[in-house]
Structure 1
């Protein structure tokens, strides 16, 4: 019987890593007319009008009784100045989604990366730390870590102290029936992780080592997770997103053919230790 060769990738999502063809990775593909007619994005910002390239005043807002007379009459600016002002407002508005905690700085850092990074992948050690904490703190029945722990106990060949290649599918099945790490809890709405990552796009889980001694085992398991920092049409058409200037600005900066700032891959990784015993229930 063939022993499982390590390191071994035991799980991959159906969605690919580095999928730049995904709908939320499109950029610079929509005209002003499309953004206004299909997405109802006439009014984007309280600071600037990207359609007329003019700076707004406090009187030039939809809630003002004078807006119809004054809109578009402000100071003319360049397209580069307009984009810079939109990014500043983008960062400012992000703070309501990142009120506290060690990850509150990430959203502004990622917005700046969108502004200057030209679509290059993004990584930060804080993301790795958040992922590891999430994996270790998930004590639910659907936890991928706990389901993997149980599957190893049940399918290790304890007599011969090994794990066979043929039983690899049991590990994949256990994880597939569970819940992969994502940041969609109530506190994630305010600690910065919900707005930076929220759900994830692709996940790979790799067993790096597996040591079996008597009636116990120790596995070192590596999670590689990727998300997209970008918006697709479905996102902006949802009221829960389109009602906020934050997402309206984001969509226009990314998708308007006069801006076309590139979305990017957000990469994070975590390595955890899983231990178990033959006689555990």
Structure 2
């Protein structure tokens, strides 16, 4: 029987990496009438009206008791309006990113959307968050790391000190029984990861190397995870998103045909070591 050669990709999600045709990657495709009529996006910002390109003052906010008494605020350019909306977008992000190591990530990502024309995004803090999630997940039913650890102990050909090609599917099935790393835990609602990533789009899991000595193995496993920093119409149609000005501004900046700021791919990488022994499965 042939031995697996490394690196070897064990698992890929059905959704593709770099899928720019995904619904949440669209931009600049909706008119003012569509935004207002279909998605209720009339009251977008407290600072600028993206449709009339005017500043909003206390006298022309729709909810103000003084509304209409002084007419519209001063006219602004489309670029000035976008800058005002992005400033408000960043400020509102702090409601969802309250504490911890990753709380500044959302502001970095909003700035990336504003200035980098849809270029992919990667940051050391995202990689760190992914690795931390994988290592700290100690649920034997969910953790892909622990499920792989269990599968390795029975899949390794101990006599020939290798992993046979025929065992690849066994390892893939072990991964598929678990829950891929996502940032949808309770703490992610406040630590900055829920608002930057939350769910993920595509995941690839690869064995980079496998060392077998006596009755022990050491596997180096790489996780590549990709998400989309963008909103689709299903997102903004849900009350849990539409109720927040943060998401209304985001959707208008991305999808309004007078702005069309491009969403982007968020890339994360983590490499972890999985070690175990021949008799682990018997414990």
The answer to whether the superposition gives a TM-score over 0.5 is yes
Residues 174-211 of structure 1 show CA distances to partners (whole Å, capped at 9, x for unaligned) of 11111001111111111111000011101000100001
Stretch deviating more after TM superposition (130-139 or 152-161)? 152-161
Q: Which residue of 1 aligns with 2:17?
A: 17
Question: Contact 2:59/2:71 (CA < 8 Å) preserved in 1?
Answer: no
Q: How many residues align?
A: 280
Q: Give the equivalent residue in structure 1 for 2:36.
A: 36
Measured at CA, do residues 221 and 253 of structure 1 come closer, stay the same or move farther in structure 2, by a change above 3 Å? same
In the other structure, the counterpart of 1:116 is: 115
SS state at 2:39 partner: coil
Question: Which structure 1 residue ranges, 5 or more long, are not aligned?
Answer: none
The verdict on how the C-alpha distance between 1:134 and 1:92 changes in structure 2, with shifts beyond 3 A counting, is same
| Match in the other structure for 1:189 | 189
Other-structure match for 1:206? 206
SS, match of residue 42 in structure 1:
coil
CA contact (8 A) 2:10 2:206 kept: yes
TM-score, reference length from structure 2: 0.97
Counting only pairs closer than 5 Å after superposition, residues 83-232 of structure 1 correspond to structure 2 as 83-140=82-139, 141-232=141-232
Which residue pairs with 2:271 in the alignment? 271
What's the secondary structure of 1:100's corresponding residue?
coil
Distance 1:258 1:71 in 2: 27
2 CA distance for matches of 1:122 and 1:226? 10
CA RMSD after TM alignment: 1.1
Q: Retained in 2: the 8 A contact 1:123–1:267?
A: yes
TM-score (norm 1): 0.97
Equivalent in the alignment of 2:60: 60
What residue is the counterpart of 2:75 in the other structure? 76
Q: Aligned to 1:96, what secondary structure does the other structure show?
A: coil
